[in-house]
Amino acid sequence: MKHRDFIQLLIEEDKKDRALKLVWRKKLKGLINTTDLFNWLDEHNYWTPIDIVEIYNTDEKKWGYNTYQHVRIKDDKDYLLYMIQPYEDEIRGINHYCVWQITGMSGDEYSGYLLFPLKNGKYFKVSYAC
């Protein structure tokens, strides 16, 4: 692939990413402070909107994090165990989020999913990588 073709591919992927996030900004209007949330996500991670999901609390605990409440997504085929993290920072109206994450081989990079509470009782799911 030529350098010019690669640059064009990156530009096209960026346009698709921005269009997808604009669609989700509209879907989430009134359910969460999208300006603060999207700005926070853009500053901290490479991220992609996934879905709006329902969760339920579970008594299951993840080793090392047994003092945290854990949740699962209803009807999740992957059956991932998320940990609730208290949150009091840049996103107005959010006092927690849920996280499931893995680290890369070097230990410096990580990726996973974040769930942010919506005003309708559901959660906005995004994938992320750092």
Phi, psi (deg, nearest 5) at residue 112: 160, -145
Reported as a pLDDT band with limits 50, 70 and 90, residue 54 is very high
102 burial type by CB count under 10 A (0-12 exposed, 13-18 middle, 19+ buried): exposed
With a pLDDT cut of 70, the percent of the chain lying above it is 97
Whole-structure pTM over 0.85, yes or no? Answer: yes
Extents of the domains making up the chain: 3-129
